[in-house]
Amino acid sequence: MKIIMLGAPGAGKGTQAKMIADKYGVPHISTGDIFRANIKNGTELGMEAKKYMDQGLLVPDELTVKILLDRVAKDDCEKGYVLDGFPRTIPQAEVLEEALANIGDKIDFAIDVDVPDENIVRRMSGRRACLSCGATYHIEHVPPKAEGICDRCGKELVLRDDDKAETVKNRLNVYHEQTQPLIDFYEKKGVLKSVDGTVDMQDVFVAIVSILGE
């Protein structure tokens, strides 16, 4: 079972990817994690990727797919995997599709965790973080006992730059421009499934399981 997770930043697709991986006993594969592992282990592909990353450049699609194929060839991917964070663009999806076809493989499901922009802005701009101990809160869903103060260590909570409404809106604009077209791409392939990401996290997961099967 080869699955791609789609959805805007803050839609909760990473959380769902982990839950899917746990339930079905398949690896949760994040491209960021693979890059870091290859660089740490000093692999040939990792060193090639590092050259681009050190210059602040994006790793080319062909190299990213090579690193990805190297990862999915490992024994723990025999029953499948969940891809999180790749592909992000149509060219990446096309390179991935061609590479998989060359080894007689293909993506079985592309699951879109659908959340309207206004929900995401509210969800992310409500986050608060303790820079001292790393605890995180949400002013609506998981508020601290005392406003603006960490329950764990008593230090001040902050709104990180990444979570500011303006930053979130900019990230959503990039998503709509570059990544949302993947929804049409995978719909045409007949593998797209959408779930309502505005409901409780557990209900989202139940909806995904009903698509994938027990």
Query: Tokens 């930053």 label which residue?
Result: 167
- Tell me if residue 13 is catalytic: yes
Q: Which of 2, 66, 71, 88 is catalytic?
A: 88
* Cα–Cα distance, 39 to 49 (Å, whole number): 8
Which residue among the candidates 2, 123, 127, 128 is catalytic per the annotation?
127
Does the active-site annotation cover 88? yes
Catalytic residue among 18, 36, 171, 193: 171
- Identified catalytic residue from 106, 152, 155, 160: 160
Q: Is 85 in contact with 29 (CB distance < 8 Å)?
A: no
Annotated active-site residue 152? The verdict is no
* Annotated catalytic residue 71: no
Report the sign of the C-alpha dihedral through residues 5, 39, 55, 100, in that order. Answer: negative
Name the residue with tokens 């902050």: 158
**Residue of 13, 66, 71, 128 marked active site:** 13
**Does 160 qualify as catalytic in the annotation?**
yes
List, by residue number, the catalytic residues: 13, 88, 127, 160, 171
